[in-house]
């Protein structure tokens, strides 16, 4: 146990050094020479101070992201190899003879352990955002959201654990297939209820107060044959200075949502471009394509977890204190493998997402015909979030679900030039 813990800490330390070297020393985020002085060059729309802050903030946040990913895996590994997970299972078993209640108690202790040890890392992320004035949220408000996160995740995951281990016990060789089949209605249900049950736990949503702007947005929706009756705004200015807008939910619970920071900092033409972008996702059915892609990756992922868990337990079950795949104490191994496979799939998922975002951008341009509003909105998004216009390659591959701001502004300008030539 000591040997494996020592090795884990050593490799984690080396990994952190490599990430630090890549982000702070090796990689650059400058603008390629052909684009210097263009509207894609942050020097044309950011002050010198904003340039420095965006570089510092983005680099620190990227570093924190990359070193945090394996940190939770390490905690789960510690739970297994020290026997803590096994001890938690024994506590739960002694409390009740009902497996569902045992699972709920076990996962409560596991969640509490991971949350407690991870809290300093999460707090550092909060303080960094607060220092750079991206976060405007008070500590008490941030803690409230953290507590809500804990209980929402706990309740959802408890349901998943009970069903998952029931399937493993009943169908040891095919549990992954039945789990995947059940995940389809469960995922659709969550997407349906999220706008009306989960999201309001964190923020207040209400119909857009600017009725003139709402009429313009609904006119765009009518032009795109989108059956929208309301546009919602959310009071995100209490928590952040960043800008955002999105479409959430499915079916009758679909919503177009604008952050009030977006309403406060963008002009109407810029907001209309962003709304046309979100409508592009709806028209091109990106939500449903995304669901299909998620379900396909889930099927592959669950099957791989089945194979890997069976192999790991057969070889190292005694070391990890797991007697079989049916053993509830082995759930941290499930979470570790799920996390690793999720990160491994991010480059593919993000590539597809970036393609969809570009398609939505071009749809919005075709609908509004306002290239300048598109460019200025991208510039303001970069300023408000202190985001890098041209991030390092690995950051883009693993973190960016949207094209970089450099790419977005460049292809909008190229489309503008193409239209002029035509």
Q: What is the per-residue pLDDT across 89-137, written as a single tens digit (0 to 9) for each? A: 999 999 888 989 999 999 999 999 999 999 999 999 999 999 999 999 9
Residue 139 forms part of a structural domain: yes
Nearest to 261 by CA among 374, 134, 406: 134
Question: What is the number of other CB atoms lying within 10 angstroms of the CB of residue 168?
Answer: 24
Q: Which residue has the higher pLDDT, 417 or 180?
A: 180
10/188 Cα distance (integer angstroms): 42
Split at pLDDT 50, 70, 90, the class of 196 is confident
Percentage of residues in the chain with pLDDT exceeding 90? 67
Residue 75 forms part of a structural domain: yes
* DSSP structure class, residue 135: B
Which residue shows structure tokens 């949220």?
Answer: 137
Strand pairing report for 245-248 and 205-207: unpaired
Helices (H) and strands (E) in the chain, counts: 14, 4
Residue 269 has pLDDT above 90, yes or no: yes
Residue 240 forms part of a structural domain: no
Which residue shows structure tokens 């985020």?
Answer: 29
Residue 211 forms part of a structural domain: no
Residue 259 forms part of a structural domain: no
Of 47-61, 168-182, 215-229, least confident by mean pLDDT is: 215-229
Percentage of residues in the chain with pLDDT exceeding 70? 98
388/365 Cα distance (integer angstroms): 23
Contacts of 22 (CB under 8 A, 6+ apart): 392, 394
Question: What is the number of other CB atoms lying within 10 angstroms of the CB of residue 401?
Answer: 13
pLDDT at 365: 94
Split at pLDDT 50, 70, 90, the class of 29 is low
Nearest to 328 by CA among 42, 24, 163, 85: 85
Residue 221 forms part of a structural domain: no
Average pLDDT over residues 9-13: 91
Mean pLDDT of the chain: 91
Nearest to 402 by CA among 357, 360, 349: 357
Residue 180 contacts residue 299 (beta carbons within 8 Å): yes
Residue 346 has pLDDT above 70, yes or no: yes
* Triad 245, 208, 215: Cα angle to 5°: 100
Residue 422 has pLDDT above 70, yes or no: no
How confident is the model over 210-256, as pLDDT tens digits? 889 988 888 888 888 877 677 889 999 999 999 888 877 776 677 78
168/269 Cα distance (integer angstroms): 54
pLDDT at 336: 95
Residue 229 forms part of a structural domain: no
Active site residues: 278
Q: How far is CA 314 from the centre of its chain?
A: 34
pLDDT at 419: 77
pLDDT at 132: 93
Which helix (H) or strand (E) segment holds residue 246: the answer is strand 245-248
Residue 379 contacts residue 39 (beta carbons within 8 Å): yes
Residue 219 forms part of a structural domain: no
Average pLDDT over residues 389-402: 93
Residue 271 has pLDDT above 70, yes or no: yes
Q: Which residue has the higher pLDDT, 28 or 375?
A: 375
pLDDT at 97: 85
Split at pLDDT 50, 70, 90, the class of 2 is confident
pLDDT at 21: 95
Query: Residue 381 sits in which domain range?
Result: 2-203+285-421
Number of domains in the chain: 1
User: Reduced to 3 DSSP states, what percent helix, strand and coil does the chain have, rounded to the nearest 5?
Assistant: 75, 5, 20
């Amino acid at each position: 146990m000591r040997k494996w813990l020592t090795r884990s800490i050593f490799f984690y330390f080396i990994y952190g050094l490599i990430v630090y070297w890549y982000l702070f020393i090796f990689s650059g985020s400058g603008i390629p020479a052909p684009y210097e002085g263009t509207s894609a060059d942050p020097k044309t729309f950011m002050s010198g101070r904003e340039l420095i802050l965006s570089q510092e903030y983005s680099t620190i946040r990227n570093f924190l992201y990359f070193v945090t990913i394996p940190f939770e895996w390490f905690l789960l590994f510690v739970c297994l190899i020290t026997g803590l997970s096994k001890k938690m299972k024994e506590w739960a078993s002694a409390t009740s003879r009902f497996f569902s209640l045992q699972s709920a108690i076990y996962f409560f202790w596991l969640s509490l352990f991971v949350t407690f040890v991870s809290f300093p890392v999460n707090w550092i992320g909060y303080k960094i955002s607060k220092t750079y004035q991206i976060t405007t949220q008070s500590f008490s408000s941030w803690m409230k959201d953290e507590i809500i996160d804990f209980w929402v995740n706990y309740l959802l995951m408890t349901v998943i654990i009970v069903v998952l281990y029931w399937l493993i016990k009943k169908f040891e060789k095919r549990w992954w297939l039945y789990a995947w089949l059940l995940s389809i209605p469960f995922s659709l249900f969550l997407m349906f209820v999220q706008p009306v049950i989960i999201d309001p736990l964190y923020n207040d949503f209400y119909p857009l107060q600017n009725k003139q702007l709402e009429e313009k947005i609904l006119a765009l929706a009518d032009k795109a044959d989108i059956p929208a009756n309301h546009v919602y705004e959310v009071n995100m200015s209490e928590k952040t200075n960043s800008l955002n807008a999105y479409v959430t939910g499915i079916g009758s619970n679909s919503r177009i949502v604008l952050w009030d920071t977006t309403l406060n900092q963008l002009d109407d033409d810029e907001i209309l471009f962003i709304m046309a972008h979100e409508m592009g996702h709806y028209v091109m059915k990106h939500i449903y394509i995304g669901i299909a892609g998620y379900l396909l990756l889930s099927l592959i992922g669950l099957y791989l977890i089945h194979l890997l868990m069976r192999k790991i337990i057969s070889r190292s079950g005694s070391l990890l204190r797991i007697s079989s795949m049916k053993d509830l104490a082995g759930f941290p191994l499930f979470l570790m493998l799920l996390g690793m496979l999720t990160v491994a799939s991010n480059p593919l998922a993000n590539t597809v997402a970036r393609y969809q975002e570009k398609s939505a951008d071009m749809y919005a341009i075709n609908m509004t015909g306002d290239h300048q509003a598109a460019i200025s909105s991208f510039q303001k998004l970069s300023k408000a979030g202190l985001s890098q216009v041209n991030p390092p390659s690995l950051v883009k591959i693993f973190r960016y679900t949207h094209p970089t701001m450099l790419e977005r502004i460049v292809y909008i300008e190229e489309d503008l030039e193409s239209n002029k030539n035509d």
